[in-house]
Amino acid sequence: MKEKTDSILLSHGSGGSLMHELVRDVFIKHFDNAILGLENDAAVFKASNSNIAFTTDSFVVDPVFFPGGDIGKLAICGTINDLVAVGAKPYCLSAGFILEEGFPLKELERIVANMATIAKLAGVFIAAGDTKVVEKGKCDKIFINTSGIGVFPEANVPLFSKKTIKPGDQIIINGFLGDHGMAVIAARNELEHAISFQSDCAPLNLLLGELLKVDLGIKFMRDPTRGGLATTLCEICEGLDIGIKIFEDKVPVRASVQGLCDLLGFDPLYVANEGKMLIVAKKGSEQNLLSKLRKNPLGRNAAIIGEVISENKGLVTLQTSIGGTRIVNMLSGEQLPRIC
C-alpha cells in the first residue's frame, strides 16, 4: 500500500526513482512486451536477418540555448547516444517539433541548422519529421522529439547484456561529470558568463564507433543523462547478484562544476550529462580501453572510477574522499528538472 500521488509531479520527469515507478507502473504495464521490458536505452531486435536498434526521446530543456549547445543539438546527440549505448551504429533519425505560437522563426532556424550540422558530423541523416504548433501557453517555446534507428555492422560482436557483468569488471567513464546539467542551471540563473565550462553535449559514436567494431572487453554501456552517474549505476545494479563500488576521488568532476554544485546544493553524481558513457569492461581490458578512449578529445579525461564486487548485492557503494564508505542511491525527487 504505497502512498501514491494521483497526479503528475515535476519529479516524475527527473530521471530518478519516481520516473522509474511511472515507467513500470503505467507504460510498461500497458505496453508490455519482451523488448520494452528490458528497459535498455534503445530496443534491439531482429528485422529480417539483422539486428537493429530503435529508440525515441523528447527534449524540453529550459532555457533553449545554453553554453555549449541548444535543444536541437541535444535532441540529435541524445538519440545518437542511446543507440551507441546498446552498441549500434546510428543510421537515421526522425525529428518532431511542437512549437509554441509566437516562437521566433529566427531561433527555430538556428536550432534546425545546428541539428543539421551535428547530424552531418555524426554521419546520420534525418529521414522523417513532423511539426505541430500549439497556442501560446500550451507548451514552453519548443519541444523536440527524435527517434533513431541504429544498425550492427559487425555481425559477430556480442550484444551487450547486463547479465554478463561479473565481480572484478571495471567501471569506466569517458570524462568530467555534471558539465551539462550545471551549464543549463548556470544559463537558467543567468550565470553563464561566470562559468568556465560548457555542456558536454556530443554525439558519442565519434568516440565509440571504432571501439565497438572490435571486441575490446566492453560488456555493457549506458549514458548517464537525467539522474546522473549515481542513478545510472543503481539501474545497472538493480536486480543483479553483484554490487558496484566507486571511489569518490577517482570520479572526474571539474573544480568549477563542483564549486557551482556546492553553491547551489547539488551533488555532481546526480547531475545530468549529455556526452558521457558509462562503460562496464571485462577485468584486464580496462587499461587498453582507457588508453584508446583518451586518444579521442571526447575521452581525454576518461577514468576508471570503480569496480563490480560480489558483496553488497544490488547496491552501489562509494568510498568517500576521506576514506569512509557509504551507499549511493537513485535520485529521489527532483534535483534538476527539465535539463535534457
Partner 1 sequence: MNWLEGYRSRELCEALAMEICRLATRPMRFMEVCGGHTRAIRKFGIPSLLPETISLLSGPGCPVCVTGRAFIDQAISLSSQEDTEVCTFGDLIRVNGNHGSLEKARAEGKQIRIVLSSLDAVEHAKRNPEKKIVFLGIGFETTAPGTAAAILKASRDGIGNFSVLSAHKLMPPAMEGIISEGIPIDGYICPGHVSTITGTRMYQPIVENFKIGCVISGFEPLDLMHSILMLIRQVLNDKPKVEIQYARAVKPMGNPEAQRMMYEVFETADEWWRGLGFLKNSGLKPKHKYYEFDARKVFDIPTFKETDPKGCICGEILKGLKTPHQCKLFARTCTPVNPVGACMVSTEGACQTWFNYEGKN
Site for partner 1 in 255-284 (CB under 8 A): 255, 258-259, 262, 265
Which one of 2-10, 131-139, 147-155, 208-216 is the stretch in contact with partner 1 (CB under 8 A)? 2-10
The DSSP line for 87-141 is TPEEEEEEEEEEEETT--HHHHHHHHHHHHHHHHHHT-EEEEEEEEEE-TTSSSS
Q: Which x/- pattern over 211-250 shows residues binding partner 1 (rule: CB under 8 A)?
A: --------------------------------------x-
Give the nearest distance from C-beta 247 to partner 1 in angstroms.
11
Q: Indicate which single residue of 56, 94, 285, 319 sits in contact with partner 1 (rule: CB under 8 A).
A: 319
Q: What residue has cell string 541548444? A: 70
Selection from 139, 133, 147, 156 nearest residue 76 by Cα: 147
* DSSP-derived 3-state class of residue 199: coil
Binding test (CB under 8 A) with partner 1, winner from 18, 165, 216, 271: 18
Query: Closest approach of Cβ 301 to partner 1, in Å?
Result: 17
Per CB under 8 A, 16 contacts partner 1:
yes
Q: Tell me 86's DSSP state.
A: T
Asked if residue 34 binds partner 1 (CB under 8 A), the reply is: no
Nearer to partner 1, 1 or 105 (CB): 1
164-187 exposure pattern, b = at least 16 Cβ within 10 A, e = fewer: ebeeebbbbbbbbbbbbbbbbbbb
Contact (CB, 8 A) for 316 and 230? yes
For partner 1, the binding residue among 104, 136, 155, 324 (CB under 8 A) is: 324
Residues that bind partner 1 (CB under 8 A): 1-5, 7-9, 11, 16-18, 21, 249, 255, 258-259, 262, 265, 315, 318-327, 329, 332-333
